[in-house]
């Protein structure tokens, strides 16, 4: 996502001819968009980055749900100091 936003910012600065970006070739300014494409189409599917992140979130939700059920069914297991 960072590369996509950076590429869009570079394009806007080049289009508006702001400072340094006015003289830079379009090829260099489109490089972040190419890197974003490579990440989403090659690296992410190959290493399952998004899938692992989603699985981690699901495991955390599952653990929280199990803990909540344990506390509901066994009040003496609550973390608070009251008994």
Range of the domain at 72: 50-83
Give me the helices (H) in 16-43, please: 26-38
Same domain for 38 and 67: no
Q: Provide the number of structural domains found in the chain.
A: 2
Against a cut of 0.75, is the pTM above it? no
Same domain for 38 and 5: yes
Angle between helix 2-15 and helix 26-38 axes, rounded to 10 deg? 160
Contact indicator for 14, 21 with CB cutoff of 8 Å: yes
Interval 30-48: pLDDT, tens: 899 999 999 888 888 888 8
Same domain for 42 and 5: yes
Interval 50-66: pLDDT, tens: 888 899 999 999 999 99
Across 13-36, average pLDDT:
89
Same domain for 56 and 40: no
């Amino acid at each position: 996502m960072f590369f996509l936003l950076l590429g869009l910012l570079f394009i806007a600065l080049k289009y508006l001819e702001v400072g340094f970006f006015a003289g830079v070739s379009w090829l260099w300014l489109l490089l972040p968009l190419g890197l974003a494409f490579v990440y989403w189409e090659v690296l992410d599917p190959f290493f399952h980055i998004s899938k692992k992140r989603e699985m981690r979130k699901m495991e955390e939700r599952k653990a929280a749900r199990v803990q909540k059920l344990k506390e509901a069914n066994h009040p003496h297991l609550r973390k608070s100091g009251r008994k």
